[in-house]
Amino acid sequence: MPFELGRPLGVPNDAEFQKRVLRAAFALLDAERGPLLIDYAEDVPQSSSPESDAEAMNGMVCAVDFPALPDATAPTSEIGIALMKEIAALAPWYAVAVADRGRTTVGPSGLPVIEAGKYLAAFLENQSAPCPRDDMPAASVLKLAYEDLKAYYTEAITMQPGFATSKRVEDWLFRESVLGTALWRLRAICRANEDQPYGYLGRNSVVPDRQINPAN
């Protein structure tokens, strides 16, 4: 398939495109012998280029910028405070995304997004910070928490103009957002920790390879 990893049916919300992929796959059942390795010829439509994404973003900001909430458990670190503000600023876009799609993929951590952010911020300051769940290893909770944050961010941002490609979304997340800064910092902390499973997270499961080595 000429599609990127993560999109085996090619194009989200394009039922006819997806059915053409399925029909091509089912057509293989008619072959009289195999195994077969058939290249699928139809590529995804080029709805937007990274350049046009960037142009579309000129002058755009999130619609709402909430002040810090009066919260006794709120992070006090600079990055923690910034993360809380960023999470709040994305809330209206996330609400639009959920309403538009009728679903969200946020939630496997079992933590409200703001609590997931607090845990990430706390971990960046103190790797012995109390884990908000006691029914699974802290590293697993941490992983689920930052994956929920990523899902919250990317569901929200893809509702905005200028984010038509997954690469543009990923670049924004890891190069422009506070969460991205936090995740790069988390990666460094985990990589310095040789103990499993934090070492594994740092080496393999925080920042995508193509952000670390763009040439690859």
Partner 1 sequence: MARLEEVPLGERRMMETLDCTGFEDRRPWVTGPALNRRRVALVSTAALNLRSDAVYAREETGFRVIPGNVDAGDVVMTHSSVNFDRTGFQQDLNVCFPLQRLHEMAAAGEIGSVANFHFTVSGGRPPLDLEDSARAIARTMRADGVDTVLLVPI
User: Residues in the site for partner 1, rule: CB under 8 A?
Assistant: 1-13, 15, 18-19, 22-23, 25-26, 29, 33-35, 101-105, 107-108, 140, 143-144, 147, 150-151, 154-155, 158, 166, 169-170, 197, 200, 204-210, 213, 216
Return the number of the residue (29 or 72) whose C-beta is nearest partner 1: 29
Return the number of the residue (51 or 209) whose C-beta is nearest partner 1: 209
Return the number of the residue (77 or 104) whose C-beta is nearest partner 1: 104
Return the number of the residue (15 or 61) whose C-beta is nearest partner 1: 15
CB 123 within 8 A of CB 186: yes
We find the least distance from the C-beta atom of residue 77 to partner 1, in angstroms, to be 24
We find the least distance from the C-beta atom of residue 67 to partner 1, in angstroms, to be 28
CB 199 within 8 A of CB 137: no
The one-letter code for the residue type at 180 is G
We find the least distance from the C-beta atom of residue 112 to partner 1, in angstroms, to be 15
We find the least distance from the C-beta atom of residue 31 to partner 1, in angstroms, to be 9
